[in-house]
Structure 1
């Protein structure tokens, strides 16, 4: 089957929806970081502002794995993920607004300062929800969902799943799923492995009848994800990039967010550039062999 031709507008912006998408991984957000994985509110503000200036538009992990990537033509999707539901991620003040020194507060500020930068992110939750009591947590999760943020599953107690039995894995994930459903009325779409480590049989984490059935699972990797339309995309092992500057630790000079964003800036032909239409997948015709077969009917080439 010959692939359909791209629109002139999509060709003009050099759309490439088989390009790489950064899925950024954050842990604690603090005014003054204490540990290596922590990021300061200033560092988060600076990184998000850079993304906005570089033409990135946030989408949720759920939107990413579904393949419904709706960002303007010429822009680049980015997925912001926050693990462990710590207090620096989210909190509401007495007026019901996000506290300014939290991740959500920073995201909202950057979106306000940069029209077109969508204020959304995905929060991978453990049982201790942002340091809130049960009533606060229920109100908080509802606020997040109502404002377009994704709340997702990260197990009850953040164990290394590779050390657990099948029943223990199910209990950790289904317990957290029950908590989220109780507070939001909806099941989660995606899951992130604690420590990026899969259980003995990954299928244990993918689905449990009557409890959870994820559409994608995220690792704690060191590179941007391939496009969900790429034949190499594995929805059960999606790469993420740790948010960090070019420091020596953990090869961050090459494999953390600042280094990867620099790389994609210098190699724009390798990153995902939207055609502006979530119903089509546009890319240069020389990349046809990379397209996953289920998306051939969506494909547009130039």
Structure 2
């Protein structure tokens, strides 16, 4: 076998000197944008030079429905239809894994930045109210065991490709802290979206236009005091109720705290349209309450809706694995929004 001889010491010295000079002359890297995840796990779609997947072969339908699931508290003994046990939450995540769902944030969903592998389906995990059972940090600065985020991270670690991301909609004093300064930076740095749920969970239809903007603007201001420069891009409506002037849920401001959102979430009871579909309405995006197949209004809960989507796979959003292409079957019965016509490919 021929072996390449190692370079002589003078050659190594010159190479080392050139490396030092090159590093010294290099321009400093630009800082990452405020909402760029620092340590988020990602599951890219097609990024290699291999031929793109055949949309028909993977059953792609990027005009299909997307489940946006809504969570509140995790408790051992639920006292409300909005409560889930930690075991039920874990079981639902495991079901999502088994049925080829991949979590994306509300921002990624609403802007169409859904970069997931071919044949997979996006799901948005949303958490309202900033409850301590959703997220807390232990003495070592890690998510406290038993909280929703700790469970999500555990499931994702066991199933590579299941992204540990979610969108957290907070009020004042999020996750049982005084001001969120300890917990919100952790969420930002690990790829979670931080969204607004108003400062004091205000029913926006019960107050004036000025008061609605104050409730939203001050909620955003509190988030940005804990995570300066962070761009809050979505709002979950308390009680699912819009302001009397619905556009104020999307944009407005008070005392220098302006906001301009890409998505407003309802409480809802059904899957959301594809962000590429003509019927997508960013001001009225429905969600599905996480719930077992029995109980109050169970017909509108996650167990029943996931059953329906599993039984009718052609209705749900299925990725073609190519981020800048929008594939859908010509028989889907849904049309792309005009602004996406140039990227949409029917088969």
TM range (shorter): over 0.9
Give yes or no for contact 2:325–2:343 (8 Å, CA) kept in 1: yes
Following superposition of structure 1 onto structure 2, how do residues 59-208 of structure 1 map, counting pairs within 5 Å? 59-134=104-179, 137-185=180-228, 186-208=230-252
Q: Which residue of 1 aligns with 2:99?
A: 54
Relative to its length, the structure with more helix (as a share) is 1
| Greater length-normalized contact order (CA 8 Å, ≥ 6 residues apart) | 1
In terms of Rg, which structure is larger?
A: 2
Q: For structure 1, which runs of at least 5 residues remain unmatched after alignment?
A: 1-5
How many Å apart are 1:27 and its aligned residue? Answer: 0.9
Q: Deviations over 1:188-245 (max 9, x none)?
A: 0100110001111111221115510001100000000011111011010001000001
Secondary structure in 2 matching 1:138 = coil
- CA displacement at 1:8 relative to structure 2: 5.2
TM-score (norm 2): 0.82
Whether the 8 Å CA contact 1:177–1:187 is kept in 2: the answer is no
CA distance in 1, matches of 2:295, 2:325: 41
Post-superposition CA distance 1:163-199 (Å, at most 9, x none): 1001110111110111111111212010011000111
Q: Give the total of aligned pairs.
A: 293
The answer to whether the aligner puts 1:228 opposite 2:272 as a matched pair is no
SS at structure 1 position matched to 2:175: coil
Give the superposed CA RMSD. Answer: 1.4
Partner-residue secondary structure (3-state), 1:249: coil
Alignment map for 1:7-46 (pairs within 5 Å): 9-46=54-91
Aligned 8 A contact 2:78 2:85 in 1: yes
CA distance in 1, matches of 2:53, 2:87: 41
CA separation in 1, counterparts of 2:334 and 2:270? 22
Q: Is the 8 A contact 2:52 2:322 kept in 1?
A: no
Q: Gapped runs of 5+ residues in structure 2? A: 1-50
SS at match of 1:297: coil
The 8 Å contact of residues 116 and 122 in structure 2, kept in 1 or not, is answered as yes
TM-score by length of 1: 0.94
